Amino acid sequence: METGNKSYVSDITDHDIFQKIINDHHYVIIDYYTTWCKPCKKAAPVMEGRAKEFIEVFFAKIDAEKLFDLANDQNIHSYPTIQFFVKGKEYQRLEGFDENEFIHVISKMLNLI
């Protein structure tokens, strides 16, 4: 029996890990957030739930205040911003959080619609 709260969304803590993740996984979704952002707090449990559902996608998150240079390199200027990658290339991004749009982009990315 599993105990504790396992997260299905990985924390990216530096630029090298970011590069490795987007290069090593076919589908990647990255959530750029800040601790003070209310929409970010709304997005977090949805990301966890969808990470359990879409197991073929690698889900990760970046605290944009801690990794400001990385967020800036990716032209992230509002939070939350969610980047979708396919084969190491950015497929799409969403600024702000709308769960229906988020699910639509995942489905489109995976060719489910």
- Boundaries of every domain in the chain: 10-109
May I ask the CATH class of domain 10-109?
A: alpha beta
Lowest mean pLDDT among 4-13, 27-36, 79-88: 4-13
The predicted model gives 49-56 an average pLDDT of 94
The predicted model gives 52-73 an average pLDDT of 96
Catalytic residue among 37, 44, 46, 86: 37
Cα–Cα distance for residue pair 18/60, rounded to 1 Å? 9
- The verdict on whether 37 is a catalytic residue reads yes
Q: Is the pTM value of this prediction over 0.85?
A: yes
The predicted model gives 33-42 an average pLDDT of 96
Catalytic residue among 12, 22, 30, 40: 40
Closest CA to 84 of 65, 69, 104, 112: 104
- The verdict on whether 40 is a catalytic residue reads yes
